[in-house]
Amino acid sequence: MEAMPATPARTALICGIGGQDGAYLAAHLLDLGYAVVGTSRDAQASSFETLARLGIRDRVTVESMTLVDFRSTMQAISRHEPDEIYNLAGQTSVGLSFSQPVETFESIVIGTVNLLEAIRMLGRPIRLYNAGSSEMFGNTGTEPAGERTVLRPCSPYGIAKATSFWQVAQYRQAYGIAACTGILFNHESPLRPERFVTQKIVAGACRIARGELQTLALGDLSVQRDWGWAPEYVVAMHRMLQIEPLEDFVIATGHTSSLEDFVAAAFAAVGLDWRRHVVRDPKLTRPSEIVCGRADTSHATARLGWTARHTMPDVVRMMVEARLAREAVAPRRAA
């Protein structure tokens, strides 16, 4: 009996593979049998530390691509002919967007429209996932935000993400492009850099526990967010591109906690009372801020079969455990 030819692996192009989400998504897609191509502005100069930490660096093809340059974008897509593209690139810090509003807007908005235009011009059946953000909603009061909630962003980052959201919707409607936006609420992991407040808190608590630091300066601890576990969220990203027709989804845990609760959990995980070590610094507050982030996740549960398994206390515990484990082996590695 003649053997059937093997089904060729699907190819995924991940823009911004060096970040937290890009690395976890790459690992998930590799487990599913995908060929994964990752892009960054300068692949030759990038260390791709996150991929190395997950043990997948040598399983991923990397490509230099600048999303704000249409020619660069078109060349990368033409060369690799992906079945799916995941747009996770662009400036990712809400706080930084206040001091770099133009760079934030250009990297997110121009990058997204370049991808959409490249797909339209190539005429190939490429499916595009676009990374949105809960920052698009702004302040919704006590109402949980869902897919039909009005967008009222209150940061340059949120404004840029809202613009890219409408770009995707317009190309989907006008040109039939298979594209969607995942509106993800906060999601964390050990791969978060310390410029994000969650990792700053975890790192600070661990350093104070070791006697390397006395106090940790933070801004407004009353803000409330829905914090989830990043490795789970990339599963939702992939599932969004497997349904027909494509549509946008809110991805979150459905549980909201204050930043003070996050801080308390991190310090408790290393046996400390946060109130003895945390000081408030008004300079760390933002010009405008979302007071409370709440999410309605019912549509993702019903349509994607996706529900978060880990909530904020789990996330803090796993981040602290990962930090302590890395610090425990670091001296032996150095030696």
Active site residues: 133, 135, 157
CA dist 311 and 261 (Å) reads 12
DSSP state of 268: H
Three-state secondary-structure class, residue 3 = coil
Q: Give the tokens for residue 225.
A: 């967010």
HSE-up of residue 36 (Cα within 13 Å, Cβ side): 27
